[in-house]
Structure 1
Amino acid sequence: MKYFDALLVNQMAATDLSVEISNNLLTANNVWMMLSTALVFIMHLGFAGVEAGFGQAKNTVNILFKNTITPIIGIMSYAVIGFFLMYPGFDVPGWFGFDGAGWSMFWFSPGDADVSFGYADGGYTYWTDFLFQAMFAATAATIVSGAIAERVKLGAYLIFTLFFVGIVYPLIGSWKWGGGALDDMGFYDFAGSTLVHSVGGWGALAGVILVGPRIGKYVNGKTVEKPGSSVPLAVIGVFLLWLGWFGFNGGSVLSADPGLVSFVLVTTSLAACAGGLGGFLAAYFAFKRLDLGMVLNGILAGLVSITAGADVINPAAAILVGFIGGILVVISAILLDKLKLDDVVGAVSVHLTCGVWGTLAVGIFSTNPDHSFFTQLIGVAICGATAFVSAFVIFFVLKSTVGIRVSEEHERTGLDSHEHGIRGYTIVYDE
């Protein structure tokens, strides 16, 4: 009898220990995921710095206003509809699923949602899951902001953001991350080279086409440089984005797995370095100068390029992927100017061109034999067509109704004074 009592006690102790380990593991995982969420959030400050730095001084407040309001609209619209559209829990993998509007979430108490080890394999809680994904959603819209800066109507941009982040982005994301048809097909995108970056890039391209180039950008077949307001601010912005990418890619492990997280951070950093080097060399070859802007965009190009396969591409291949991305971003920027497509910050080149390249690179360099180049190509084509057509339709409807471009007078004198009543850079002299 004593033997069975002792056995029962030992079993209860083992159960208690297992529960304690599970709770501690959940806490550790969730802390890392919350930190990653904060790092992705700080990327909005990075985008603001890059766009304000590369944009003209007369439009600084307008650019910063858009970058401030974008995450506000993005997170709110994702809470209402986006999260439940993106993760519907497909019973059978398909192209559309919706789990209902998210109004009920607003009335949850702290313990109403699943915060146990049983949620997401113990990687994080429901609340962290939502917020981490919401940061990704808002990032997709911010990409569009920089491309069409300095001549787009603020109201039209905000309406576009509402629909693009609330519906288009989560619908496309559901096809892979929500367990939809692309996931069933075997398409792979670890942290969003396609689902975030190229989706935002396709939206930016549609906007650039419909809104048209800035006045005086292309004259007599030549591209006229429009100096940015602050090179230091642009540099700070890029390094903030690089910092944020540790959360963007590292958090996409969806746990604090020490081996995989550290591996992802290594491939991410190596690709960023190689991208900067590729941008530097390609720009020197093309322009015969040490072009800081192309080095900065080369860094971002490397980061975007490795995002799809940061967990399945080894460090040596990550360097090659990033380096090629840095070269491609220069070629893409030159091509866009040839086509008279005016992208203020190079968002299309960085996020679209390199997003496509990075996703295809998984099919070439992945250590997982199940990853196929052909499958990656199909996924890129489907997501690209959907994102571009959707963004084009939204912008076209806005152009045909409320208009998407400011007046010539406002564009020439600057959007800050006309739309905001203040300037970003003001020197006040004491009388």
Structure 2
Amino acid sequence: MATELTNAQLTEQLGKLSVDGDTYWLMFGAILVFFMQAGFGMLEVGCISQKNTKNILVKNVLDACFGCIIYWTFGFGIAFGDATGSDGFAGDNNFLLTESTFYADRMYNQNTAGKYLEDDYEFGAGYNYAFFFFQFAFAATCATIVSGAVAERIRFEAYVVYAFLLIGFVYPVVACWGWNGDGAFSAWSGDKDDVLFGCGAVDFAGSGVVHMTGGVAALSGAIWAGPRNGRFGPNGEVNSLPEQNPIFAALGTFILWVGWYGFNGASTLYITHYSGVAAKVMVVSTIGAAAAGFSSVIFHKFMHNTVDLGAALNGVLGGLVSITGACAVIEPYGAFIIGLIGGVVYQLSAMLLESLKIDDCVNAAPVHMFCGMWGVIAAGLFATEQNYSNAYYSDRAEDCAGIFYGGNGSTLGANICFMICIILWVGATTSVMFGSLKAAGLLRLTDEQQATGMDILEHGGPAWVEFQTISNGAPTKYSKVDPDVEIAPPSKVAVSN
């Protein structure tokens, strides 16, 4: 005999289903974002020489390993713990996921055939664990941005230090500012009197929090490490260095593009009542990426008369970065304009770094820092009142819309303040870190070590057997070499570039 449910019981069951759906949504998004590590790995391998293949892949794997341990230990607590006592600077609890919210709810009662306990359907342990997983994937992404920029000339010890500090301290502070409900610049407080200029900084999925943080750190590292040997000639000429395989770079870019749908789409944090916002986020992200890829290629064609693959790939990534902060508050035509400008921002900033003799192997700073800056500004220009209301709070949407849509400029002002503080904070902390490593002799490889390559120095030999150095007509046998031991330059018959 069927049992009829009362309205209260039906509401309870629907509530439980919505929590489960929201938890799954975050887990799905986290998996996509985490898989972006594979995309970064392929992109970076494609852009560096063959003799450093293993080195860059090891760093990508360890970004996830180090990142998980460090973020679990204290990074998550700094980012999303209680920040009221520090005036929104950093959280001060929930280290090691020890807070009661990770244990109190969503447990099953084994004595009632797996049914939930009576009062156990509110957001609790299950959702909070999914939220941690999602945020960890963002933190790992931030660290990986740096590894490509400083590839082929920094010591492994330096990588360990910057990964530890960036994931454990520098990035979590910025995440607290922008995404913690108590954060200094956060727009996520429901009380407009508690947010900067009555609106807070709109950085929905992280043009500033993730990409500017990683991009500024990448630029700092590239400056302190100096250029790779041979990148710039004695008279200022720019030399192209060997790149391994454009196929890897293209594959990595497509993996990143797919992962970005989790990066931006799942930043709604819930799918219940937010499915429309999430779907629109994915559409505007696609439009922004496409527009930027197009404008970057056209700009490069105009300047150099070639249809360049690198311009297309980095243009797409620059468009995705540009759209990330504003993706929930703009219309598709706004995304098109933001993307078009983002492609040009990438090209101009890459030219700027070359003119300043700054060697960024994968153009991480142009893609992530400069396009991230544009993305933060764009949110204050193109946010519409209705979209702001859907994604944030309706009671302040009229004032907090972008200035192109009748807003009073508060969002733009808050976003510019946020952008400046990210540059100052990340630039200062990473400069101290990289400068200290350089002073201690732990930052840069010697010229001889760069010529040999990190795969031989640290990782037991080259990744590709057919590209081993040839000596007297036969492949040499490789063994691990102490990085502190001076190594003779390779033979003129070496083909291990």
- TM-score when normalising by structure 1: 0.92
Displacement after TM superposition at 1:428 (Å): 9.2
Deviation track 1:254-302 (CA, whole Å, cap 9, x = no partner) reads 0112211100000001101011101111111111101100110000000
Task: Supply the distance in 2 between the matched residues of 1:387 and 1:428 (Cα, whole angstroms).
Answer: 39
From 293, 305, 314, give the equivalent of 1:297.
314
Question: How far apart, CA to CA, are the structure 2 residues paired with 1:243 and 1:330?
Answer: 23
Distance 2:381 2:62 in 1: 39
Partner of 1:182: 185
**Which among 51, 61, 68 is matched to residue 44 of structure 2?**
51
Structure 1 distance, partners of 2:14, 2:78, is 34
Distance 2:439 2:467 in 1: 42
Alignment correspondent of 1:224: 239
Equivalent residue for 2:268, pick from 253, 278, 292? 253
Residue in structure 1 matched with residue 360 of structure 2 by the alignment: 343
Shift, 1:366, TM fit: 0.7
Preserved contact between residue 216 and residue 423 of structure 2 (Cα < 8 Å): yes
- What's the Cα RMSD here? 2.3
2:114 aligned residue: none
Residue 119 of structure 1 aligns with which residue?
A: 123
Distance 2:83 2:436 in 1: 31
Alignment equivalent of 1:64, drawn from 45, 49, 57 = 57
1:330 and 1:89 mapped to 2: Cα distance?
Answer: 41
Look up the SS of the partner of 2:14 in the other structure: helix
CA drift of 1:101 comes to: 6.0
For residues 425 and 279 of structure 1, what CA distance do their matches in structure 2 show? 33
How far, CA to CA, are the matches of 1:93 and 1:266 in structure 2? 38
Contact 1:29 1:255 in 2 (8 A): yes
Pick one of 67, 80, 86 that aligns with 2:79.
86
- TM-aligned CA deviation for residue 117 of structure 1: 4.4
Question: How many Å apart are 1:14 and its aligned residue?
Answer: 1.5
> How far off its partner does 1:402 sit?
4.6
Q: Where does 1:150-169 land on structure 2 (aligned, <5 Å)?
A: 150-169=152-171
* Structure 1 position 399 matched with structure 2 position 438: yes
Q: 1:104 to 1:54 in 2, by over 3 A?
A: closer
**Which residue in 2 is equivalent to 1:272?**
289
One-letter amino acid of the structure 1 residue matched with residue 257 of structure 2: W
Aligned to 1:206: 220
Segment of structure 1 superposing worse, 358-367 or 399-408: 399-408
Identity %: 35
SS in 2 for 1:342: coil
Cα shift at 1:118: 2.8
Amino acid in the other structure paired with 2:140: A
The alpha carbon displacement at 1:72 in A equals: 1.0
- Distance in 2 (alpha carbons) for counterparts of 1:350 and 1:76: 28
Q: Quote the Cα distance in structure 2 between the aligned partners of 1:97 and 1:276.
A: 37
**Partner amino acid for 1:241?**
L
Partner of 2:428: 389
**C-alpha contact 1:114 1:126 (8 A) present in aligned 2:** no
Instruction: Work out whether 1:25 is the aligned partner of 2:15.
Output: no
For the Cα contact (< 8 Å) 2:83–2:92, is it kept in 1?
A: no
**Aligned-partner Cα distance in 1 for 2:348–2:425:** 25
Quick check: which has more Rg, 1 or 2? 2
CA distance in structure 2 between the aligned counterparts of 1:201 and 1:402, rounded to whole angstroms:
24
- Does the CA contact (< 8 Å) of 2:207 and 2:322 recur in 1? yes
1:281-296 mapped onto 2 (5 Å cutoff): 281-296=298-313
- Compute the displacement of 1:91 (Å): 3.5
CA contact (8 A) 1:198 1:356 kept: yes
2-side partners of 1:104 and 1:218: how far apart?
A: 48
In 2, distance between residues paired with 1:319 and 1:20?
42
Question: Is the contact between residue 16 and residue 122 of structure 2 (CA under 8 Å) also seen in structure 1?
Answer: no
Counterpart of 1:143?
Answer: 145
Report whether the alignment pairs 1:100 with 2:93: yes
Contiguous gaps of at least 5 residues in structure 1:
1-8
Secondary structure of the structure 1 residue equivalent to 2:465: coil
Alpha-carbon distance change, 93 to 409 in structure 1, aligned in 2, over 3 angstroms? closer
The code of the aligned residue for 1:112 comes to: Y
Q: Within 2, Cα distance between the matches of 1:232 and 1:47?
A: 13
Shift in Å at residue 419 of structure 1? 1.2
Structure 1 residue 247: deviation in Å?
Answer: 0.3
- Indicate the larger mover: 366-375 or 263-272: 366-375
How far off is 1:403 after superposition?
A: 1.6
Distance 1:13 1:93 in 2: 47
* AA at the equivalent of 1:244: G
- Unpaired segments ≥5 residues, structure 2: 107-119, 187-194, 386-397, 402-410, 469-473, 476-497
| TM-score, L = length of structure 2 | 0.80
Change (3 A) 1:146 1:111: closer
1:228 CA displacement: 1.0
Tell me if the contact between 2:91 and 2:176 (Cα under 8 Å) persists in the aligned partners. no
CA positional deviation for 1:102? 2.3
Equivalent of residue 419 in structure 1, options 452, 458, 461: 458
Following superposition, the deviation at residue 19 of structure 1 comes to 1.0
- Secondary structure of the corresponding residue to residue 250 of structure 2: helix
Query: Partner letter of residue 298 of structure 1?
Result: G
* Alignment pair present for 1:172 and 2:174: yes
Q: CA deviation at 1:206?
A: 0.6
Q: CA separation in 2, counterparts of 1:383 and 1:25?
A: 36
